[in-house]
Amino acid sequence: MSDFLETIVARTRERVRHLPSARPAAAQNPFAFSKALTSNHIRLIAEIKSASPSAGAIVDNPDVQAIAREYKAGGAAAISIVVEPEFFRGSHEWLARAAKASGLPVLMKDFVIDERQLLCGVAAGANAILLLASLLDAKRIRDSIALLDEFGCDALVEVHDDRELERAVAGGARIIGVNNRNLRDFNVDLATAESLGAKIPPSTIKVAESGIKTRGDVDRLRAAGFNAFLVGESLLRQNDRASAVKALIS
C-alpha cells in the first residue's frame, strides 16, 4: 500500500517554499475555537472541502458562504476548512469567507510542517490550526502552540495511535483530536477513538474525527468520552446540510 501521507507531505514541502511572508494581527476574540467546544453538550465542527484522496471529488467549486450558513443554521459550533490545494482542492481564502458568512470560529486544516504555514493561517483568519502529531515531534508541537498562543489562535493536535498521543501530551496540547482515519492508507475505524479517548488527559478537549455519519456514531463516541466531533464528507453530500447537522446534535 502506498503511503499517501508521505506523498502529500512531499508536495507540501514544495508549496511551502513559495509561501509569502505574513504579519498577522492578534485575534479580536482570542481562543474562540476552544471556547466554542467547551461544553457538556454535543459540539459539532462541520467541515468544508472540495475533494480528498480517499473520496475523490466531493463538492466541485463549493459555495463556501452558503455551506457555512447552512452549518450555522443546523447548530454547528465551528467550521473546519481544508486549505490544502492539490489533493483536497482547498484555499486559504475560504477561511475568511466561512467566518464572515457564519460568524463561527474556523479551523484551518493543512499538513503543517513549517512555521510560515501557521502565520499564513492566522493572517487568513483561522481561529485554530490543525497540527499533525504524525509530522511533528513534541518540541515542535510545543513551539507551534506557543507561537499560535501569541495571536490568540488555538491548536488542534491530531493523533491516530499511542505514539502520536504521547507526542501531543508531551507537547502540551490542550485540544486533541483522534482521527479514526489512518492518513497513510485512509482506512477508517471508530474503535481508534474509543481506544485512545480513555488515554487523553481529562483536562483536554477531546475531538473525534472521521468516519462519523450517524447519531449512533456520535452516541458511541460520546460513551468513549468525546463531546466534540469533526464531520465532513457525510454532511457535504447531503441536500439539506442544516438538517443533517441537526440530526447529529439534537
CATH of the domain at 190: 3.20.20.70
- Output helix, strand, coil percentages for the chain, rounded to the nearest 5: 40, 20, 40
pTM of this structure: 0.95
Statement: residue 57 has pLDDT above 70? yes
Confirm whether 74 is domain-assigned. Answer: yes
Q: What values do phi and psi take at 200, rounded to 5? A: -80, 135
pLDDT band at 3 (very low <50, low <70, confident <90, very high): confident
pLDDT at 1 (0 to 100): 33
pLDDT at 37 (0 to 100): 97
Confirm whether 22 is domain-assigned. Answer: no
Confirm whether 211 is domain-assigned. Answer: yes
pLDDT at 177 (0 to 100): 98
Statement: residue 2 has pLDDT above 60? no
Write the burial class of residue 38 (CB in 10 Å: 0-12 exposed, 13-18 middle, 19+ buried).
middle
Confirm whether 114 is domain-assigned. Answer: yes
pLDDT at 53 (0 to 100): 81
pLDDT at 55 (0 to 100): 77
The label of the residue with cell 482542492 reads 89
Q: Give dist(CA 110, CA 130) in Å, integer.
A: 7
Confirm whether 49 is domain-assigned. Answer: yes
Using one digit for the tens of pLDDT, what is the confidence trace for 82-134?
999 999 999 999 999 999 999 999 999 999 999 999 999 999 999 999 999 99
- SS3 label, residue 203: coil
Residue 55 sits in which domain range? 4-17+27-249
How long, in residues, is the chain?
250
pLDDT at 243 (0 to 100): 98
Confirm whether 203 is domain-assigned. Answer: yes
The label of the residue with cell 471556547 reads 35
Q: DSSP of 96-165, one letter per residue?
A: HHHHHHH---EEEE----SHHHHHHHHHTT-SEEEEETTT--HHHHHHHHHHHHTTT-EEEEEESSHHHH
* pLDDT above 90 as % of the chain: 86
Which secondary structure element, helix H or strand E, spans residue 208, and what is its range? strand 205-209
Number of domains in the chain: 1
- SS3 label, residue 48: strand
State the average pLDDT for the chain.
Answer: 94
Cell triple for residue 19? Answer: 509561501
Q: Give dist(CA 71, CA 170) in Å, integer.
A: 34
Q: For residue 181, what is the DSSP state?
A: B
